[in-house]
Amino acid sequence: MDIFLQQIINGLVQGSIYALVALGYTMVYGIMGLINFAHGEVVMIGALISITVTSTLAAAGMPLGLAGLFGLVAAMLTCMALGWSLERIAYRPLRGSPRLTPLITAIGMSIVLQNLAMIFWGRNYMTFPPLLPKVNFEFAGTHFTLVQVVIVLLSAALMAGLVFLVYRTKLGMAMRATAQNPAVASLMGVNINRVIASAFVIGSALAAVAGVMVGSYYEIAHYQMGFMLGLKAFTAAVLGGIGNLAGAMAGGILLGIIEALGAGYIGDFTGGFLGSHYQDIFAFVVLIVVLMFKPSGLFGEKTGDRA
């Protein structure tokens, strides 16, 4: 039972990170139907920028906590600029082109970003400076750290903020209208370009935070860290029903928990035949099974065929 609770907690932490990244995928997809494959790389850039800024400032004598805060802000600003440029330079010229064209562009951008990062930061794993003091908590036989608590709380706060933005502000209304029907929304005076750019910028800011979280959780960062993370987050978004905010959040957290439980118990399930290195298949197996029974994801709307 202790292991069970422990894995739920670990899964919740990992899942919060997935959820933040998944939101970026789902916003862009919901509004323009594009799988932004480069989104995972934005997470990676966020993590690496924050390392550089934090360690530079810390080396100059700034207290580590404050330097970390600057690092986080710098990462967010850089990623927002990056997200905005991605949309402006790579995707906007392709609107109205065949469906797979922007997908290939996204893949191209992903390759470009990864290799740029490798040129700037090198091939080696970088140690992430400890931003928060190492405090351990114990509760009902489970252990968790301050970092984990902060990750979960901060993610929850950011998600609440996003929900407020989308459902209570004018920009949010414009975003929802564009997702429903871009042509009509633009007739109603919605500036489509601005809405799409905002989705990219907001998604990228969340990705930057997620990047810093991953970095401080695992205490390392690497130019390839974004790819698998992005993939899992996208899986989470689809699991929840892509284009749906609540779906992305629930999908992310669910995926984190399933992975953690799976890794903890797979040996028992299979009588020791499969070991914990099969952890990565859980995401995909669950996805396939869910989609077989709910073809639009857990929270996706059923889109009926219209004749």
Partner 1 sequence: MKNWLSPKSMTGIALIAIALIVLPHVVGMGGQAWVRILNFAILYVFLALGLNIVVGFAGLLDLGYIAFYAVGAYTWALLASPHFGLHFPVWAILPIGALMACVFGVLLGSPTLKLRGDYLAIVTLGFGEIIRIFLNNLNSPVNITNGPQGITLIDPVKVGDFSFAGTSQIFGMTMTGPQKYYYLLVALALLVIIINVRLQHSRIGRAWQAIREDEIAAKAVGINTRNIKLLAFAMGASFGGIAGGIFSAMQGFVSPESFSLIESIMVLAMVVLGGMGHIPGVILGAVLLTFLPEVLRYAVTPVQMALFGKILVDPESLRMLVFGLALVLVMRFKPAGLWPSPERSRELSEKPVEVVK
90 lies in the site for partner 1, by CB under 8 A: yes
Q: Is 198 in the site for partner 1 (CB under 8 A)?
A: no
Cβ distance to partner 1 smaller for residue 89 or 157: 89
| Bridge pairing between strands 126-127 and 142-145 | unpaired
- Tokens representing 61? 């004598």
Backbone angles phi, psi at 140, to 5 degrees: 50, 45
Is residue 159 within 8 A of residue 23, CB to CB? The reply is yes
52 binds partner 1 (CB under 8 A): no
Residue 208 within binding range of partner 1, rule CB under 8 A: no
* Binding track, positions 149-188, relative to partner 1; x by CB under 8 A: -----------------------------x---xx--x--
- Contact between 114 and partner 1 (CB under 8 A)? yes
Q: Burial level of 293, CB count in 10 A (0-12/13-18/19+)? A: exposed
Alpha helices in the chain (DSSP H): 2-32, 39-59, 64-85, 100-121, 146-168, 170-180, 182-187, 192-218, 225-240, 245-269, 279-293
**304 scored as a contact of partner 1 (CB under 8 A):** no
- Contact with partner 1 (CB under 8 A): which of 2, 3, 5, 33? 33
Written as six digits, the tokens of 78 are 């850089």
Contacts with partner 1, residue ranges (CB under 8 A): 29, 31-33, 35, 90, 93-105, 107-112, 114-116, 118-119, 123, 178, 182-183, 186, 192, 196, 231, 234-235, 238, 242, 272-275, 277-278, 280-281, 283-285, 287-288, 291-292, 295-297, 303, 305, 307
